Every structure is written in C-alpha cells, then in structure tokens.
Amino acid sequence: MKKIEIKTTVLEYNSVDNFSEEEKILIQKSKEALKNAYAPYSNFRVSASVLLENGEIICGTNQENAAYPSGLCAERVAIFYANSLFPTVPVKALAVSVFAKNDFPESPTPPCGACRQVLVETETRFKNPIKIILIGKNIIRVIESAKSLLPLHFDDKFLD
Ligand code: THU
C-alpha cells in the first residue's frame, strides 16, 4: 500500500494591507456587488469579482430560482460572464464575499465543488493560476490556485 498525502496551503490575513492596489479594488467591488445578488430563497447573498490580466474587473452574484437547481452560484456567474466578455483574456484572481443574517460571516465562504471544477477548467483554459481570495468579516483567506482547492481534479488530460 502506498499512502499519498496532498497538502493545501491557505494564507490568512487580518487586513487588506497585504494586497496589491488592484486586489484591494477587487475586494471592495466584490463587497459592493453583494447588493445585486438575487437570493430570495436562501437569503445568503454571494458576490464574486473576477480580475482579468487586462485589469478588467467583472462582478457576478448568486442568482436563485423557485426551481432551486436552476439557479447559479456567484462564482460561476462571474467567471462565465468574464469569459463571455473577454474570451481570450486570462483570469488572474477571484474575490468572494457573503452577506447573510444581516452581517458578513466571520468565516470566509469557500466555493462549492461545482464552482471549483469551473475554476479549474478556467485555469486549464488560460494556463494561468487563479488567486482565490475569500473575504470574511475580519479575516481574508488566500489560496494560490483553484487546482489546490480541488485535489485529484478531473481535467482535459483524462479525455486524451
Ligand atoms: N452559493 C454561491 O453563490 N457560491 C457558493 O460557492 C456556495 C453557494 C449560493 C448558491 C445559493 O444561491 C446560496 O448560495 C445558498 O446555497
């Protein structure tokens, strides 16, 4: 038997001081876009802002539906929107924030499994790691690439 251990590194910060100017704007825009979430069923508002290599910032929010599975997470709305507007421009970073129960949760909210898969596809597509920035009330977590959020991921290599 061979035991394989997979390590993921998460960086944790207490302020935005450690982020670049464009990342600070990305974080701010993510928080501002929370007002655009359509979450009447869960009241769990999620916003994801995408920073592209050309400096553009695209925001997306969760979009719910009375037929629950027809809705979509903020991360996928943002990524698909960004890739539709700029199909040749790599994604550099993604910042995610949440507003629920009249507050920003203490613990930063990580992307769901399906969103991780889409983020991995986007990294593969542009051959560029995406810096994932998860915003909590007082702490911000950073994961340096989507692939490290989804160990043993399925990607294009398995279709060869
Ligand atoms: N949600 C997101 O937008 N992103 C995630 O990664 C997790 C969940 C949304 C989906 C739904 O509208 C609400 O949060 C509650 O699950």
Separation of CA 72 and ligand 1 centre (Å): 7
Pairing of strands 131-135, 57-61: unpaired
Count: domains in the chain: 1
Residue 159: Cβ within 10 Å count: 6
Q: Which domain holds residue 62?
A: 11-153
pLDDT of res. 24: 98
- Domain assignment present for residue 143? The answer is yes
Q: Is the CB of 62 under 6 A from ligand 1?
A: yes
pLDDT digits (tens, 9 = 90+) for 37-72: 999 999 999 999 999 999 999 999 999 999 999 999
- Domain assignment present for residue 36? The answer is yes
Separation of CA 150 and ligand 1 centre (Å): 17
pTM equals: 0.97
Tell me how long the chain is: 160
pLDDT of res. 132: 98
Backbone angles phi, psi at 7, to 5 degrees: -110, 135
Residue 80's pLDDT band (cuts 50, 70, 90):
very high
pLDDT digits (tens, 9 = 90+) for 129-155: 999 999 999 999 999 999 999 999 999
Task: Take residue 83 and report the two structure tokens written for it.
Answer: 């890739």
